Amino acid sequence: MDENPNIKIVHEHIGANYIETVLTRLSGNNDIDIITVAPDNTGVFLRAGAALNLNSYIEQNKEELQLDKFPQWTLDDFSTVRYPDVKSGEGQYGVPLVMFVWEMWHNADMLQQAGLTTPQRGWTWDNFVEMATKMTNPAEQKYGYENQNWMLPLFTWIWQGGGEVLSEDATKLTIGSPEVVKTFQFLQDLQLNKKIFPAPETVVEEGGGINFNGGNVGMITRGNWNIDLTRDFNFKWDVSYPPKGEQEATVGEAMGYIINANSEHKDEAWTFLQWVLSPDGQRTLGTRDIVPNTEVMREVGLQLQPENVRNVVVPLSGDPMVRGFPQWYRPKYTVNDLQERLTVLWTGERKAEELLPELEKEFNDALSQPLP
């Protein structure tokens, strides 16, 4: 603001009902210029016509912005590449601010007790099973891995197994493919037969139960944003690259900004975004957070974070194995709806080879219908 006296930045935190509150404000007072968005709500604002197409601004400043150093998936998260049902036309409707990547987290105390060490890049699913088995002792309520019924970690397993969540044009789910079914059969076997994952009803993240945070589970797939939880850990911990199945893969998420399409201060809003995206802005953010500019990450990446996180997350953040969050949308057929439908896999009520092809057909039948 010192360098741009015509601009005043006012940050406003909106907690509950974020999307509804912002959309209401845009249709009423229209007093918001820049909107913070995540992968799971960007599409809502695109469908509402609330996001300004930034192509002309980017073209004018492309030399300074260095977007060629950003992983492509981080830019796709804010374009119609990720949301093919949006008919706004091709364009960059937002920009990434910071990223999160998903690693394997380890209870280092449990590793040591089992005669193990943190694995190096290239460890495999077979290594994972061996390690998880050695750390599992149901009599002591200790288990090798926390199997979360959450699509973010499940995406990593699907990709590592050689499968895809969506078709190449992002219009159909492919969760009934042989590769995806095989991956879920693998996880089901570890859950139900080898019993190296705690039973779902015993996993309670708060208030007791069996879980990674409580110190009685050896491994969990999660993002670097969980660093804040470590202050409450009563055990030593470490992070590693994800294990390799048919291929290396993990999920990435980008938090970013869109400019209100009806803002009265579009140029001023872009001046701020332009700085955020520039190498100077990226360096300012990059000491604590992962930023999309991979060159800046190599230069200053995560200097304020613990060394064991920095040594894995900085190189991983620009690695081709990181893939963006798959997106599709129909009422009652969202990512969260799929997640809820998969719970029966971990209780043994349904088999993967039966359920997944059924869900693929049901969801694709819904996706083939026009939005109401």
- Residue 257's pLDDT is 96
230 and 151 in a common domain: yes
**Which region among 15-24, 45-54, 214-223, 332-341 has the lowest average model confidence (pLDDT)?**
15-24
Cα-Cα-Cα-Cα torsion 39, 41, 42, 47, nearest 10 degrees, comes to: 140
How far from 137 is each of 121, 196, 279, CA to CA, in Å?
26, 8, 49
- Residue 187's pLDDT is 97
The answer to whether the beta carbons of residues 113 and 174 sit under 8 Å apart is: no
The span from the CA of 190 to the CA of 141, in Å, is 16
Cα-Cα-Cα-Cα torsion 253, 99, 85, 272, nearest 10 degrees, comes to: 160
Query: Do the domain assignments include residue 57?
Result: yes
Tokens 């140029």 sit on residue: 267
Q: Which domain holds residue 58?
A: 18-100+252-324
For residue range 282-317, list pLDDT tens digits in order: 999 999 999 999 999 999 999 989 999 999 999 999
49 and 66 in a common domain: yes
Q: DSSP string of 190-231?
A: IIIIS--S--GGG--SSSSSS-TTTT-EEEEEEEGGGGGGGG
pTM check: above 0.85 = yes
What single-letter amino acid sits at 202?
A: T
pLDDT band at 320 (very low <50, low <70, confident <90, very high): very high
Query: Do the domain assignments include residue 312?
Result: yes
- Residue 233's pLDDT is 93
Residue 243 pLDDT > 80, yes or no? yes
Query: Do the domain assignments include residue 94?
Result: yes
| Percentage of residues of the chain with pLDDT beyond 90 | 75
- What's the whole-number mean pLDDT along residues 47-53? 91
Cβ-based burial of 275 (10 A; exposed 0-12, middle 13-18, buried ≥19): middle
Q: Are strands 322-324 and 250-259 parallel, antiparallel or unpaired?
A: parallel
- Residue 329's pLDDT is 87
- Residue 7's pLDDT is 84
- Residue 1's pLDDT is 80
For residue range 197-238, list pLDDT tens digits in order: 998 877 876 666 889 999 999 999 999 888 888 999 999 999
The span from the CA of 3 to the CA of 314, in Å, is 31
Run of H or E residues at 347:
helix 343-347
Residue 372 pLDDT > 80, yes or no? no
The span from the CA of 226 to the CA of 132, in Å, is 21
243 and 113 in a common domain: yes
Tokens 């998969």 sit on residue: 342
Q: Which two tokens stand for residue 33?
A: 């210029």
- Residue 339's pLDDT is 94
pLDDT band at 100 (very low <50, low <70, confident <90, very high): very high
- Residue 324's pLDDT is 94
- Residue 206's pLDDT is 65
Query: Do the domain assignments include residue 77?
Result: yes
163 and 61 in a common domain: no
- Residue 205's pLDDT is 67
Give the sign of the dihedral formed by CA 283, CA 285, CA 289, CA 292. Answer: negative
Query: Do the domain assignments include residue 226?
Result: yes
Question: Which residues, 6 or more positions from 256, have their beta carbon under 8 angstroms from its beta carbon?
Answer: 36, 37, 42, 74, 77, 78, 94, 95, 96, 97
169 and 277 in a common domain: no
What single-letter amino acid sits at 339?
A: Q
190 and 108 in a common domain: yes
Residue 141 pLDDT > 90, yes or no? yes
- What's the whole-number mean pLDDT along residues 76-85? 87
351 and 216 in a common domain: yes
- Residue 15's pLDDT is 80
Packing angle of the helix pair 266-277, 279-286 (nearest 10 deg) = 60
190 and 135 in a common domain: yes
The span from the CA of 357 to the CA of 138, in Å, is 33
- Across all residues in the chain, what is the average pLDDT? 93
Q: Could you tell me the CATH number of the domain that includes residue 201?
A: 3.40.190.10
232 and 197 in a common domain: yes
Most distant CA pair in the chain: distance in Å? 66
- Residue 207's pLDDT is 60
Query: Do the domain assignments include residue 3?
Result: no
**Which region among 90-94, 130-134, 181-185, 219-223 has the lowest average model confidence (pLDDT)?**
90-94
Question: Which residues, 6 or more positions from 219, have their beta carbon under 8 angstroms from its beta carbon?
Answer: 104, 105, 106, 107, 128, 131, 132, 135, 144, 145, 146, 212
Domain count, the chain: 2
355 and 317 in a common domain: no
Higher-confidence residue of 329 and 126: namely 126
Query: Do the domain assignments include residue 357?
Result: yes
| 72-95 burial: b if 16+ Cβ within 10 Å, else e | ebbbbbbbbbbbebbeeeebbbbb
- What's the whole-number mean pLDDT along residues 314-339? 94
Tokens 């930023």 sit on residue: 291
